Amino acid sequence: MSAAAADSIFSRIIRGEIPCQRIFENEHVLAFLDINPLSEGHTLVVPKRQCERLEDLPPEEAAAIARVLGPIARRVLVATAARDYNVLQNNGPTSGQEVPHVHFHIIPRRAGDGLGYRWKPKPADPAVLAELAQRINAAG
């Protein structure tokens, strides 16, 4: 881990150098309210280990996050009276990742909230999908 990576804002929050509104904490995971929320209750769930991309996070630590995402989301929904939510996780700047530390967003949603989130998928050629699946499987 580089010195720059150790200085991510999330690492500083985990170390207690920057205050946050903690929602959940255990040995591997910290969840806290986003200070620039997209909606009321927007929560960030982060591994305590500084790691920039999900595929680089040790599997046991990724599993620790997976175990708590649902229960945290349920608590956020109850507290905010929202019915639905998005779980969003970005890897790399092209995807929209702004902080170089793995993190999951739990974003409560309400009808008419104006947040949007509609992609425009295009049908794929089955032969192209089959060839791509072979390449992905061959990648290990």
Residues 62 and 58: their CA atoms lie apart, in Å, by 6
- The residues near 53 (Cβ < 8 Å, ≥ 6 apart) are 91, 92, 102
Assigned token pair, 96: 């929209």
Specify the DSSP class assigned to residue 41: T
Q: Which amino acid is located at 1 in the chain?
A: M
Assigned token pair, 75: 């608590």
Specify the DSSP class assigned to residue 8: -
Tokens 């530390």, residue?
A: 101
Residues 111 and 63: their CA atoms lie apart, in Å, by 31
| Residue 28 falls in the annotated catalytic set | no
Q: Pick the catalytic residue from 28, 42, 101, 103.
A: 103
Catalytic positions are: 103
